[in-house]
């Protein structure tokens, strides 16, 4: 019976593979497919999740809403108890997506560019968030913020967000540090900020931006997107490297540079890890060949952890 059911449904799981996704041109469809694929292997659907669940009882205190008194318990114990629910309050999520020129790189003509990978992940997260009644906003930037959508859980928010992401053509340099500082000024109350970028910017500026966000008590998730070639440097022979953000050109014997280059990349990632650890930001590395469920599960685990943290605060506060 179960097998028959699975045979009757399309295999959405394959859409987690970036190579398959790259053949889907519509970002909306791509994001939906990712989410479908992500949940196709799970036991419960996000569409049936309750937003209000019973958690515990506590004694009635003055000022409590009488509607919350459990009269059945009063009948049995002759004491007023108030039902306490674990209610999922609206999560405010800000997706900060790097739309600079360096994100347009892809080494595999059949694969996704770093930008496409980033926006697919962002749209999928946004779709998921909207489905869970979370508010989701968007900050699209290159050297400055080019698009800013305040978080909202309106039904059309996701479509607007997806359209903005799909319509952007990155042709400018990156200036993440400055953008994060500006973003800090724009968003007042705390929220979960997911920064999706290759982070090809000055490390000190980056950390300065992270610190600003954390200072305003925002949750910060950093998804560092790489192309596979940027991590392996698979070139050989004389190669003319032409920098994407007007970073110049370099003619070199690739094999001679490989070891040093990989050393530099490794050093940068180590520094990122240390820096993010210092500001308590979650750092995750992706390459454009990594299936997107990793990103989604990372987000969901972070979300649930955050909600648990909040509920414990609610309970603790009671």
Partner 1 sequence: METAPLLAIGFLHPAIAAVAVATGVIPVLIHLMNRRRFVRVPWAAMSFLLAARRRSAKRVWLEQLLLLLVRVAILVLLGVAIARPYVPASARLGLRASRVHRIILLDNSLSMQAISQPMQTGVAPSEVGSRFTHAKGFVERLLASLPPTDAVSLITLASPASAVIDEPATDHRFVRERVASITATQRSTDVSGAIERAIQLLASSPYPQANRVVYFVSDFTQRDWFDAEGQRRGVAARRSAPPDDDRSRGAPRLVQALDRLAQALNESATDLHLVGVDPQARENLSLARLGVSSDDGAGTGSGLVAVDHPVRIVADVVNHGDATVRDATVQISRKTDPASGGQIIRSQPLGAIEPGASVTVAVTVVFSRSGTHLIEAKINRSALASVSRAGPGVPRGDTLGVDDERYLSVEVREQIAVLLVDGRPGTTQLTGSAGFLATALSPLSAEGMPSTSAAARRASAWRSTALIEPKIITEPELETEALGNYQAVAVCNVRRLSESTWQRLEAFVEGGGGLQIFCGDAVSAEPYNRFGFKEGKGLLPARLGPIHDTTDRSAPMDNGGGSQDGHGRSDIGFELTDPPHPLTAEFAGLTESGLFLAGVHRYMSLDGVSPSAETVLRYTDGQPALIASTFGKGRVLLWTTTANMDWTNLPAKGDYVSMMLAAATHLVPLAGRHRNVVVADTIMEPLTAAETSMPKRVTAFGGVTPVPGRGNRPAQPILVPVGDGLALAYGPVERSGALSLTIGSRSRLFAANVDPAESDLRRLDEQALADLIDRPVHVVTVQAQQTSAFGRQPAAPRSTELASVAVYLVIGLLLMEMVMAMWFGAQRARQSEGVMARRES
253 binds partner 1 (CB under 8 A): yes
Residue 76, phi then psi, degrees to nearest 5:
-85, -40
Q: Which of residues 124-183 bind partner 1 (CB under 8 A)?
A: none
Q: What angle do CA 112, 113, 116 make, to 5 degrees?
A: 80
The Cα–Cα gap between 21 and 11 comes to 13
| Region from 83-91, 148-156, 175-183, 243-251 binding partner 1, contact rule CB under 8 A | 243-251
Ramachandran class of 137: left when φ > 0, alpha when ψ lies in -120 to 50, beta otherwise: beta
Residue tagged 């479509």 (tokens):
159
Token digits of residue 177? 């540090």
Q: Which of 90, 166, 241, 302 binds partner 1 (CB under 8 A)?
A: 241
Burial of 308 (0-12, 13-18, 19+ CB in 10 A): exposed
Per CB under 8 A, 239 contacts partner 1: yes
Segment lying near partner 1 (by CB under 8 A), choices 66-74, 125-133, 239-247, 307-315: 239-247
Work out whether 103 is an interface residue with partner 1 (CB under 8 A). yes
Alpha-carbon distance of 141 to 123, in angstroms, equals 16
| Smallest separation, CB 213 to partner 1 (Å) | 23
> Judged by CB, which is closer to partner 1: 147, or 258?
258
Q: Shortest distance, CB of residue 145 to partner 1, whole angstroms?
A: 21
Site size with partner 1, rule: CB under 8 A = 42
Binding partner 1 (rule: CB under 8 A), the pick from 141, 200, 207, 210 is 200
Stretch touching partner 1 by CB under 8 A, among 17-25, 28-36, 241-249, 298-306: 241-249
219-226/192-197 β-pairing: parallel
> Which range in 52-60, 210-218, 226-234, 307-315 contacts partner 1 by CB under 8 A?
226-234
Structure tokens at 204: 């000190």
Tokens of 281: 């930001």
- Nearest residue (CB) to partner 1, 104 versus 147: 104
CA distance 277 to 257: 30
36 binds partner 1, rule: CB under 8 A: no
CB 96 within 8 A of CB 139: yes
Kindly identify the residues of this chain, within the stretch 256-295, that bind partner 1 according to CB under 8 A: 256-266, 268-269
Q: What is the C-alpha radius of gyration for the chain, rounded to an integer number of angstroms?
A: 23
Residues that bind partner 1 (CB under 8 A): 101-105, 114, 198, 200, 227, 230-232, 235, 237-245, 247-248, 250-253, 255-266, 268-269
């Amino acid at each position: 019976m179960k097998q028959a059911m699975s045979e009757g449904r399309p295999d959405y799981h394959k859409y987690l593979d970036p190579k398959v996704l790259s053949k889907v041109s519509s970002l909306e469809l791509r994001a939906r497919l990712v989410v479908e694929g992500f949940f196709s292997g799970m036991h419960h659907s996000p569409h049936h999740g309750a937003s209000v669940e019973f958690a515990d009882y506590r004694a009635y205190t003055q000022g409590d809403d009488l509607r919350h008194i459990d009269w059945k318990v009063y009948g049995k114990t002759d004491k007023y108890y108030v039902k306490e629910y674990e209610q999922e309050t609206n999560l405010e999520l800000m997706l900060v997506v790097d739309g600079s020129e360096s994100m347009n790189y892809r080494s595999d003509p059949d694969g996704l560019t770093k930008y496409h990978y980033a926006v697919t992940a962002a749209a999928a997260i946004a779709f998921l968030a909207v489905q869970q009644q979370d508010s989701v906003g968007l900050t699209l930037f290159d050297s400055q913020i080019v698009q800013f959508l305040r978080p909202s859980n309106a039904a059309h928010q996701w479509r607007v967000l997806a359209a903005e992401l799909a319509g952007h053509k990155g042709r400018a340099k990156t200036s993440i540090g400055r953008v994060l500082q500006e973003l800090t000024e724009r968003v007042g109350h705390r929220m979960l900020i997911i920064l999706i970028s290759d982070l090809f910017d000055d490390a000190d500026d980056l950390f300065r931006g992270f610190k600003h966000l954390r200072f305003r008590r925002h949750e910060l998730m950093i998804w560092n997107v790489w192309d596979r070639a940027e991590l392996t440097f698979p070139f050989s022979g004389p190669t003319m490297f032409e920098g994407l953000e007007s970073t110049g050109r370099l003619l070199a014997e690739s094999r001679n540079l490989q070891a040093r280059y990989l050393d530099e990349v490794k050093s940068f990632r180590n520094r990122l890890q240390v820096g993010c650890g210092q500001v308590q930001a979650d750092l995750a590395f992706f390459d454009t060949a990594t299936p997107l469920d990793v990103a989604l599960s990372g987000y969901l685990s972070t979300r649930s952890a955050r909600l648990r943290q909040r509920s414990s605060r609610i309970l603790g506060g009671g």
